[in-house]
Structure formats: structure tokens, C-alpha cells
Amino acid sequence: MKQYSKRTALMHWLIFVLVIVAFYLGHEVAESKDAAGKLAMYPAHFLIGDLILLLTLVRIWFRKKDGAPADANTNPMLNKVASLTHLGLNLVILATAISGFITVVTSGLLEAFKANDPSLIPDFHNVPAKEFHELFIGIMVLLVLFHVAAALYHQFVVKDNLLRRIMIKRFED
């Protein structure tokens, strides 16, 4: 096996795009001074976060069921770093989604939705789960940057066509 399965690759790229969208929406919500606009943006952010959680679990299942290509590096230490990075990404994506859900449930934000009253949007500085949500987002950003940098290093410096492994398109190598 030289590539991840089509469905694993599709989930990878779909999750990648959804994480970017969720990050953007979360940033827009946090920076917005318009309470009514915030109340309108939150549901999209939540739904995308829930979808990321679900698709990540599905992708993990696909990878277990379909298998994975052989290790990309001849150096066992680099393979261990890659494995730990993938594990870290999966865990932090799950932790981010779960902490976001807990933030909604424990913050009083649901009351603002039920009443459709933007003035009921809580002060998230007093919500511990929100602090964890932000911490996990920061860790995710660092891991994604490391993951992308490693993939680009392989593709353009080592020139081993590593990116082909996670492409949806099938290659005849």
C-alpha cells in the first residue's frame, strides 16, 4: 500500500478545510462587537465543530480498517515523531471539539439561544472550559504548522513524493 485509502484521504482534506473554517468563524465571533451577529454566528461554528469531531472519529476508524502506507522515513526516530504528531493531531482535534461543546453547555450560552437574546451571551472569561478550548486551539495550530512543514520538507527537499500518500487521486507508482 503506497497511499492511504481514498476515503481516509477524503476525510483528511475535508477535516483540514473544516478546521480552517471553524478557526475563522471562531475568530470572527470572538472579535465581533455586534452581539446579534455573534448569536447568529455561533451555531455555524458549533455545527462545524461537531462535524469535525464526527469526521475525525470516522477517519480514525477508516484508517484502522483500511490500513496505512509503510513508514515514510528510514530513520525510526523520525517515524516515531511522525506517529506522535498524528496522534497529537487526532487527540487535540477531539479535545478542541469536546471542550467547545462543554463550553456551550456550561457557559449559559444555550439560554441566549433559547431566548434569542444577544444580551444573554455570557462572559467567557469566567468559563474554564473556554480556556481549555483556546489552549487546545493553540496546540492544534502548532501541530498543524509542524505537520505541514514536515510534509512540505518531504515533498520539496527530500523529494520523496510524500504528499501522494494522502491524495484522493490514485497514482500508479
The model's pTM is 0.92
20-43 pLDDT per residue, tens: 999 999 999 999 999 999 999 999
Q: For residue 84, give the C-alpha cell.
A: 506522535
How would DSSP label each residue in 38-97? Answer: HHHHHHHHHHHHHHHHHHHHHHHHHHHHH--PPPS-SSHHHHHHHHHHHHHHHHHHHHHH
Domain boundaries, the chain: 6-69+76-166
101-152 pLDDT per residue, tens: 999 999 999 999 999 999 999 999 889 999 999 999 999 999 999 999 999 9
- How far apart CA 57 and CA 90 sit, in angstroms, is 9
Into which CATH architecture does domain 6-69+76-166 fall?
A: Up-down Bundle (1.20)
Nearest to 103, CA basis, from 30, 31, 36: 30
